[in-house]
Amino acid sequence: MNFIRKGRALIFRAPFTFPSWADRLGIGDGWRALNALLVLLLGVLAVGWMVTLWGPPGKSSEESAPFAGAGEWASANISPPAPTARRNIFASVYAPPAAKPAPATPPIPAAPPPPKMTISERVGHWRLVGVLPGPPVQAIIEDLRAQRTYDVTAGQTVEGVTIGEIREGSVLLLVEEERFELSL
């Protein structure tokens, strides 16, 4: 009769059945013992928690010993610092470092001024090419050294030389108090 039950169990069982972990590891009775031990440990923890929760009260904060620095505040007549204070959290809390003074350097003696060039030395390489009549009279001056041509009017300054007066065949050039005349 027993083999009939086993046969029926094999026929009607689910297509995918897996053995339990205890069967796979071969710890059938040991597993039960471990479960019992864990339940006992859980019970001990629960009892300990209940004793601390509903047990006799501990010392209050007034009865406990003061902290080590309490005497310092009392003797100096200074109130302890406030627990928190509102402040701008985006403001810097650090002071910028102090600027270091620049090391003293001995003054450098001024270079002697360059020798003054006379107006003839300054414009000796210029040539008057032509004069254009018109409401603003213009002169065409060619710089032979720089290979440039200037179209200038009276009062204009070119390379530190002021154009004074433009006449029909000449131009008057001024540098400070010196005068020079370019002719065609």
pLDDT on residue 82: 67
User: Do the beta carbons of residue 172 and residue 116 sit within 8 Å?
Assistant: no
What's the confidence (pLDDT) of residue 5? 63
pLDDT at res. 44: 96
pTM for the structure as a whole: 0.39
Using CA atoms, how far apart are residues 40 and 32, in angstroms rounded to an integer? Answer: 12
Is domain 119-183 given the CATH code 3.30.750.24 in the classification? no
Task: Give the residues of the chain that fall short of pLDDT 70.
Answer: 1-29, 57-78, 80-85
Q: By three-state DSSP, how is residue 35 classified?
A: helix
The domain ranges of the chain are: 2-41, 119-183
Which pLDDT belongs to residue 123? 84
User: Which run of H or E residues covers position 170?
Assistant: strand 170-175
pLDDT for 116: 79
Residues 161 and 174 sit within 8 Å (Cβ to Cβ): yes
Q: What was the pLDDT predicted at 41?
A: 95
Give 146's DSSP letter: T
pLDDT digits (tens, 9 = 90+) for 36-59: 889 999 999 999 999 888 877 666
CA 117/CA 125 separation, integer angstroms: 13
Q: What is the pLDDT of residues 69-93, one digit of tens each?
A: 555 555 666 676 666 667 777 887 7
